[in-house]
Chains A and B, each alone.
Chain A
Amino acid sequence: MLLKNTYDVVIIGSGPGGLAAAVEAKKEGAQDVLVIERDVELGGILLQCIHNGFGLEIFNEDLPGPSYAQRYIDESLALGVETLLDTIVLEVTPGRKIYASSKKYGFVEINARAIVLAMGCRERTRAMIRIPGMRPAGVFTAGTAQRFVNVEGIMPGNKFVILGSGDIGMIMARRLTFEGAKVERVLEILPYLSGLTRNYVQCLQDFDIPLQFQHTVKFIHGKKRVEAVEIAAVDENWNFIPGTEELIPCDTLLLSVGLIPENELSRKVGVELDPITGGPYVDESRQTNVPGIFAAGNVVHVYDLADWVTLAGYEAGKGAAKFAMALRAKETAHIPVNAGKNVHHVVPQSINKYVLEQDEIELQLRVLKPIEDRSVIEVHDGNHQIVRRVVRYVRPGEMNTIKLKPRHFADVEKASSLTVDVSPR
């Protein structure tokens, strides 16, 4: 693939949000659409979510994550969406330049008429919830373990405790059980489930995996590898209740304690973030406060259903395509201003005709030969005169000017070029 200099819509991230935006941008008429993905393949987080439960809203089918992703991968490629894999976007500028580092192309610079941010989210880690204890190996986020088990084929441990009753944690409890591991306990600090009830039923209840509410990890034991975790009950204020401590021997602790939108790029370009969601403020077309920069999916707020991410992606893709098409129309709005009869040169050499909708444009010119009598400076489109001005004389040593005004816009809009002539009256 030959990378273009400029794309109508560039989408950062190829999860369901990004792919939906790409598909919809194409359908809305954007010609050059590019998806940039740091992973080696398209699909985003869905590729590691091999369990069912996707697509009920959109396809009315119960699909595994990879199947759901595959449909959008196939559709976007069929529509001619271009992709740049193994490429991480480093920075986006308010002028919509994208700087990225690519395995294949090295450092790349791409211009976008519109951008869709679809970088998804990342998981909260041990450091973010400050679990006391030693620092052994064997503490993973549930999503990391999911990637190990489902994509890379590596079991991260044998005996697990899972902290957090989020969906990813419960789904991993079942998955690890399928692979022969023992899940000793799932702990939830809140008095209620933080994931979906259906996941409680089919992931924990079905396999007799015990879940304890209002319990959390108090201390992690282990020199090189996790050897045990000490757990305890907490009150409403999350204070440990003395005497409820219990030591659970295990070799791995998984954390399923929340997701945060991934907004480093957004922040750098000046996209305003909502402190409540952690994602950009967006309007109904999913446009952020930076014109031409749109956002959709988990980067905006954390969704529990990929189907809804897809729907948000459609909105963003549509908005981005409209924005890009309007810009493209303006770009083709540039027409040349030629030096005609007895004119040495004209500045500016080209104009954006849409500027005339609002503002006037002054053309500056020098003549080739003097005319020591009343003369006419005329701007025409090859057939029709648009504006003329009478001056007392013209001399090469003295610059002349003529103005195009908003009232000339109707005539100029139809023109594909302008020519300036100077002749005796």
Chain B
Amino acid sequence: MVEKRKLICISCPVGCELTVTLDGDNILEVEDNACKLGLDYAQQEIFDPKRMVATSVKVKNGFHPLVPVYTEHPIPKPMIKDVLAEVRKVEIEAPVDFNQIVIENVLDTGVNIIASRNMPKV
């Protein structure tokens, strides 16, 4: 069955409103994308939506009580809750380095959780 779906591309701040023509597991056409990233986005969003997740973890003896962290690559959207729960369990020790791996391969997603900044020790 051929159907049309509306999506908003979130790959960049432009936010194109895409119209995707779909036949079961096949994308027949993507319209109104201003660049070709929109095509990849439509493919991804329809069959395996992913998101970047940014949050924070507790730090012992840090300059601040938290250090911001994020997923190095997007993770499957349905896993956001579980990944957040996993991150909440962690407490690390200062000093923390910029890009330091905080959780390796979180929940077998193949994606690392890394620190967004340095966190000096006090």
Across-interface contacts of A65 in B (CB, < 8 A)? 116
Q: Provide the residues of chain A in CB contact with B55, threshold 8 Å.
A: 50, 178
Q: Are B64 and A53 in contact (CB under 8 A)?
A: no
Number of A-B residue pairs at CB separation under 8 A: 74
Contact A52 B70 (CB under 8 A): yes
Residues A62 and B8 in contact, CB atoms below 8 Å apart = no
Known: A67-B117, A70-B118, A196-B15. A153 touches B56 (CB 8 A): yes
Residue B84, interface by CB 8 Å: yes
Complex CA–CA separation, A202 to B80 (angstroms): 12
Cross-chain contact A56 with B118 (CB below 8 angstroms): no
Q: Which residue of B lies closest to A193 (CB)?
A: B15
Residues of A65-98 at the interface with B, using a CB-CB cut-off of 8 Å, are 65-67, 69-70, 74
Contact of A202 among B51, B68, B84, B117 (CB under 8 A): B51
CA distance A50 to B66 in the complex (A): 11
Closest residue to B66 on the A side, CB-wise?
A153
> Which residue of B51, B63, B117 is within 8 Å of A66 (Cβ)?
B117
- The answer to whether A196 and B13 touch (CB under 8 A), given A50-B54, A52-B54, A152-B65, is yes
A198→B10 contact, CB < 8 A = yes
Closest CB in chain A relative to B20 CB, distance in Å: 14
- What separation, in Å, do the CA atoms of A201 and B11 have in the docked complex? 11
A197 within 8 A of B: yes
Does A304 count as interface, using CB distance less than 8 angstroms? yes
B8 and A197 within 8 A (CB): yes
Is A6 an interface residue when CB atoms closer than 8 A count as contact?
no
Known: A47-B117, A50-B56, A197-B8. Contact between A153 and B65, CB under 8 A? Answer: yes
A198 in contact with B68 (CB, 8 Å): no
B residues 67-110 with Cβ under 8 Å of A?
68, 70, 77, 80, 84, 98-99
Distance in angstroms between the alpha carbons of A147 and B71 in the assembled complex: 21
Least CB distance, A63 to chain B, in whole angstroms = 8
Digitize B43-69: 1 where CB-to-A-CB distance is under 8 Å, 0 elsewhere.
000000001101110100001111010
8 closest Cβ pairs, A-B complex: A197-B15, A50-B68, A66-B117, A198-B10, A66-B116, A64-B116, A153-B65, A52-B52
In the complex, besides A52-B70, A153-B66, A305-B13, 14 extra interface pairs with C-beta distance below 8 angstroms are A47-B117, A50-B54, A50-B116, A51-B54, A64-B70, A65-B116, A69-B117, A70-B98, A70-B118, A152-B66, A197-B15, A202-B51, A206-B51, A206-B77
> Which residue numbers of B lie inside 8 Å of A, CB to CB?
8-10, 12-13, 15, 17, 51-52, 54-56, 58, 63-66, 68, 70, 77, 80, 84, 98-99, 116-118
- Of the A-B pairs whose beta carbons lie under 8 Å apart in the complex, a sample of 20, sorted by A's number, is A50-B55, A50-B116, A52-B54, A53-B13, A64-B70, A64-B116, A67-B98, A74-B98, A152-B64, A153-B64, A153-B65, A178-B84, A196-B13, A197-B15, A197-B17, A198-B8, A201-B15, A202-B10, A206-B51, A305-B13
